[in-house]
Chains A and B, each alone.
Chain A
């Protein structure tokens, strides 16, 4: 059998076997239910979006411009990162199985390269499909054209990244001279872009007053149309032009330059080709290690930064503190939730800018307070999912946990503590910022309620986060087959998606039910005090509600501890 034939057989057999396995799983009710929910979700979120036949509705021009600009800038960012970031080695990724099976096989390097290119283009097709589903409607009324154009564009970028990595490998082999050529080129390009931006800002200054969103996008349109930025964006425009073509005629017109670019990239790739086997082996091993790390309980694999422990752990004292200590170390060394918080702040700023709200740049002080408050509330919702230094991280090491000389409630409580401390700490920090900076508006009622309201939230938000964390940890212990812990290989397939959705909804419902008694107690305490204390009744009501929540979690920990002691994951780990 020829190599292409063997590859086609491999892909078809893998696909067929996976499908068979998934169909077999559907015999079990939980997978069947998961599949039904998953299918419903896929239909409502993805497939329904493919219906471009009706009127598209009103899409603000700023959003369309934002979508187009995003495509161009992400293309340029990909090109920049291909030259400036990462190591100087071929960027071809093979799995360990591919390395073991294909590298010793009688297959020419060129065939391996083409094998990877085909896989890369299949990935590009998937990326194009996702882009079509999510932003296609905003950028183009004809989904097929957007998909085809995006696929070609992403495929060309894939070739660019691969060819650039080959070229960088060659330059690196030439020592300092190669480094000079590469960094000189990158530096010159950056200088040119900076100069163009600087000079264009002179002729098209950022508007001092941005009264309406359209002011901002109008300025952006003018800025991009100026000769300098237009020249910088020209290659990116060629790349995205077919995807943005509104009819077949425009698509055909936009195609030749992109096809020429594609051909040129393929030629460049073949000319620059270097031996990639060694780098591929190293990369495959590193990926396997990362997967093993995730399998060991890490949700997100990456380099561990050896930071100092948060405190010195004495040998004497309550043993469960050791679990809190190690989970706080995990948080410090593996990052995690903080990235979600930073991403939220950046995304918030970007969306505000895209919608034309320039206050973030022009009057920062007035925005920081509300933004900090929003982030603290956001953490209450997202924090329990983002901060996972608890049973979700450690359930993969159930053997280890179960062998510890600790009662179940001690393990559960200690595991919960680190995530709760981290989320609560961030929330209190953000609320403190909001308290210090103020509400950002001069309304009298807001100024009056700001401090007592924040104090109330300082009690309630960490308690709600704790409840959310408890529910998510409880789900892992009580329904291990439904809620897999953070393991290396995440369950895939429509049924796994449906299961995750069901457990998400279930967790939400349980959290809301748990919040009801606390809310009631908060009201019972707050109402009678309101006439005498006015807004200062809020902190007391908040504290009462928080106490109820903490007591609920305490009872829950005791019960969950018993469940943890009797947890039998025999289904997953028979021997």
Chain B
């Protein structure tokens, strides 16, 4: 199987603190991988390493066949990273952000795509607004629109539903599902376990910077022994797995 994301032995250290330790996994086209773990487990550090924002301390990350260490520009061209706290250039308008993104990724039909994305994200009419004039949810939608503009093959999402209203959440979920069906690979980090359960094909549970479990919900359930393991919800599994890792030193 050709994977769109291959991670092998990923490690990230901050001084003496090991935030991510030897994490390995792969994500295939059309697959949605859920990244779950308690606060400080190393999820955001993992996502930042995958996006090429933080240099890994060790390990290898390959995006659509491009090694992030040796072919960073091509690898980044294939992916989109949507952070939990969207960051914008506050002096560029909504439309100029799309224009800027289009030039960076060479999206020639960006105006057509941009209009469709703004429509999808209910941002039509906000083209001339500055980020400072947008609500938290609108900023999240703009971040998503910029991220989707170049039709990335790998989408990394850190708490993607933060700040969205119920309709926005429904649209976002449908949009993510559609992109996965179209062949994009998604890595989704969230504390919203029902969302993870609903959207993700497989789960990677991280605690203390280590991968504690990897597989589909049924596979993880099957691996866990003990009373009532077969009927355990994701929340139960999460508590069990992360409690087992309680002795681990968590990252800051």
Contacts and interface: CB of A to CB of B under 8 A. Distances in A.
Interface in B162-181: none
Contacts of B13: 570
Nearest to B48: A399
B91 A304 contact: yes
A306 B92 CA distance: 9
A457 to B, nearest CB: 32
Given A329-B91, A403-B53, A321 B103 contact: yes
Nearest to B83: A399
CB-based closest 3 A-B pairs: A322-B103, A405-B76, A574-B252
Interface in B105-121: 105-110
A296 B72 CA distance: 25
B67 to A, nearest CB: 14
Interface in A556-575: 565-566, 568, 570-571, 574-575
20 contacts: A293-B90, A293-B132, A309-B96, A315-B99, A315-B107, A315-B110, A319-B103, A322-B103, A326-B89, A326-B96, A334-B91, A402-B51, A402-B53, A403-B81, A404-B76, A404-B104, A405-B104, A566-B55, A574-B252, A575-B19
Interface in B46-80: 48, 51-55, 72-74, 76-77
B17 interface: yes
B89 A575 contact: no
A325 B251 CA distance: 39
Interface of B: 13-15, 17, 19, 40, 42, 44-45, 48, 51-55, 72-74, 76-77, 81, 83, 87-93, 96, 99-100, 102-110, 128, 130, 132, 251-252
Given A330-B91, A334-B91, A575-B251, A403 B76 contact: yes
B91 A319 contact: no
A154 to B, nearest CB: 34
A306 B130 contact: yes
B174 to A, nearest CB: 25
B103 A317 contact: yes
A566 B57 CA distance: 11
Contacts of A333: 91
Contacts of A403: 51-53, 76, 81
Nearest to B77: A405
A319 B52 contact: no
A319 B14 contact: no
A284 B103 CA distance: 38
Contacts of B104: 319, 322, 404-406
B94 to A, nearest CB: 12
Contact of B19 (A296, A309, A325, A574): A574
A400 interface: yes
A505 B186 CA distance: 48
A297 B88 CA distance: 10
B100 A313 contact: yes
Interface in A299-326: 304, 306, 309, 313-317, 319, 321-322, 325-326
Contact of B100 (A293, A326, A397, A571): A326
Given A316-B106, A574-B19, A304 B252 contact: no
A575 B45 contact: yes
A288 to B, nearest CB: 12
Contacts of A330: 89, 91
Given A315-B106, A404-B76, A574 B14 contact: yes
Interface residues of A, number: 39
Contacts of A571: 14-15
Interface string A352-373: 0000000000000000000000
B252 A319 contact: no
A296 B14 contact: no
Interface string A491-505: 000000000000000
Interface string A401-425: 0111111000000000000000000
Nearest to A294: B90
A319 B103 CA distance: 5
A289 interface: yes
Chain B CB count within 10 A is highest, among A319, A321, A333, A397, for A319
Contacts of A570: 13-15, 54
Chain B CB count within 10 A is highest, among A289, A321, A326, A570, for A570
B73 A405 contact: yes
A298 interface: yes
A325 B52 contact: no
Given A315-B108, A325-B103, A399-B53, 8 more contacts: A297-B90, A322-B100, A329-B91, A330-B91, A334-B91, A402-B53, A405-B76, A565-B55
B106 A575 contact: no
Nearest to A290: B132
A490 to B, nearest CB: 18
Interface in A161-194: none
Given A306-B130, A317-B103, A565 B72 contact: yes
Contact of B102 (A315, A399, A575): A315
Nearest to B54: A568
A134 B9 CA distance: 60
A296 B88 CA distance: 8
Interface string A533-575: 0000000000000000000000000000000011010110011
Contacts of B132: 289, 293, 304
A317 B107 CA distance: 10
Contact of B90 (A298, A404, A405, A407): A298
Contacts of A404: 76, 104
Nearest to A317: B103
A325 B93 CA distance: 13
B150 to A, nearest CB: 9
Contacts of A575: 19, 40, 42, 44-45, 251-252
A407 B104 CA distance: 12
Contacts of B102: 315
B103 A306 contact: no
Contacts of A329: 91-92, 96
Given A309-B96, A313-B100, A325-B100, A574 B53 contact: no
B149 to A, nearest CB: 10
A306 to B, nearest CB: 7
Contacts of A313: 99-100, 103
A138 to B, nearest CB: 41
A303 B204 CA distance: 45
Contacts of B40: 575
Nearest to B13: A570
Interface in A239-266: none
Nearest to B150: A405
A424 to B, nearest CB: 21
